[in-house]
Amino acid sequence: MLIFTLRRFNLFIFTMLLLTILSFSLSFLFPGDQLINLTGQINASPEQLAILADEYQQQSGLLSQYFSYLNHLFHGEMGYSMASQLPIATEVLNRLPATIELTSVALLVAMFFGIPIGFCAAIYHRKLPDNLILAIAMIGYSIPVFWLGILAILVFSIQLGWFPSAGQISLLFEIPHVTGLQLIDILLSDSPYKWQAFQDATRHLILPVIVVALAPATIFMRLARTAMLEVLDTHYIKAANAKGLTFSQIIYRHAMRNAVIKVIRDVGLQFANLITIAMVTEVIFSWPGIGRWLIESIYQRDYTAIQGGLIVLSTFIFIVHIIIDFVYAALNPLAREPRHGKR
């Protein structure tokens, strides 16, 4: 496990270095002055620019400038937003929890529904339920996210009035900011109306979560179906069948656990796709997350925000990927050392 951890740690460091090099390079590729693109100080006086140039080693070579940029990043200094003139770190801390809350719930919903339905498809292989589930998965994966989001608002918000169409919580409730995760903050608050606020926040969450979770859920269906079919075709399942175990005993005691492990291996790869869908969904539902902020920054040509958002969002995706790798390694010891499985 130690070697596995060190390997993932080295991969994390290498990826972060590549990300910072890309982010640093963007300051040269964006139009305008490189120092202003890096710091976001569009209203700085010549004296302030001279101080910034000295801090960022502008008179030295590229390598020195890059290490100076890294030093600022390590201290949480990602410059100022060109649009709001607020520190990028503050903007990110205000918005990242909303994205974490939305994507985490959507991932759990996608796994909760997608994996069992995929198992059912494998159990009824080449029968009507299997064909029906595959058709639904194909249709669900093919629906454009923006169209699904607009359709959900039109039907469930405007026509039926069941769910709110925008925002994270009604303005009637004032919840103190503690963790930034709305549901957690509501539970931690002392408000006498916190259960009403919790219900309101949940109603705001339902439609965006469904829109974000639909495509990953269809992918999990197909992954779970393939994994279960592979497991059912293994020798130990045939041996269990030969011993006289019932089909339900084989599925629940032997096949399901091993099939879930195979699906978990691919969850990390699907998380980047889920984040991309969440960014579009945040715009449609006016969700106050980092994805919506990043897309607005692109429209406003807020170069400092684009660089900071790129690093933060990529780091978040990679950390989730590593956490899932550790979960997979904990469930499957052979994954900790690939050579051990070849012996």
Chunk the chain into consecutive blocks of 10 residues (it has 343) and report each block's average pLDDT, rounded to whole numbers.
Answer: 79 88 89 86 86 87 89 87 89 91 93 92 89 90 90 93 89 83 88 88 93 92 91 86 83 84 82 87 91 90 89 88 85 66 46
Residue 339: the pLDDT is 55
CATH code of 96-288, in short, is 1.10.3720.10
Q: Which of 259, 169, 171, 258 is nearest to 220 (CA)?
A: 259
Whole-angstrom distance, CA of residue 36 vs CA of residue 27:
8
What SS3 state is found at 59?
coil
Residue 114: the pLDDT is 92
Residue 341: the pLDDT is 46
- pLDDT, tens digit (0-9, with 9 covering 90-100), for 124-182: 888 898 999 999 989 988 889 889 999 999 999 999 999 998 888 888 888 888 888 88
**pTM, two decimal places:** 0.87
In the Cβ-directed half-sphere of 150, how many Cα atoms lie within 13 Å? 5
Whole-angstrom distance, CA of residue 289 vs CA of residue 291:
6
Q: Which residues pair with 80 in a beta bridge?
A: 87
Residue 204: the pLDDT is 92
DSSP string, 105-167: HHHHHHHHHHHHHHHHHHHTTTSHHHHHHHHHHHHHHHS-HHHHHHHHIIIIIIIS--S-SSS
In the Cβ-directed half-sphere of 331, how many Cα atoms lie within 13 Å? 14
The contacts of residue 318 (CB under 8 Å, 6+ apart) are 12, 15, 16
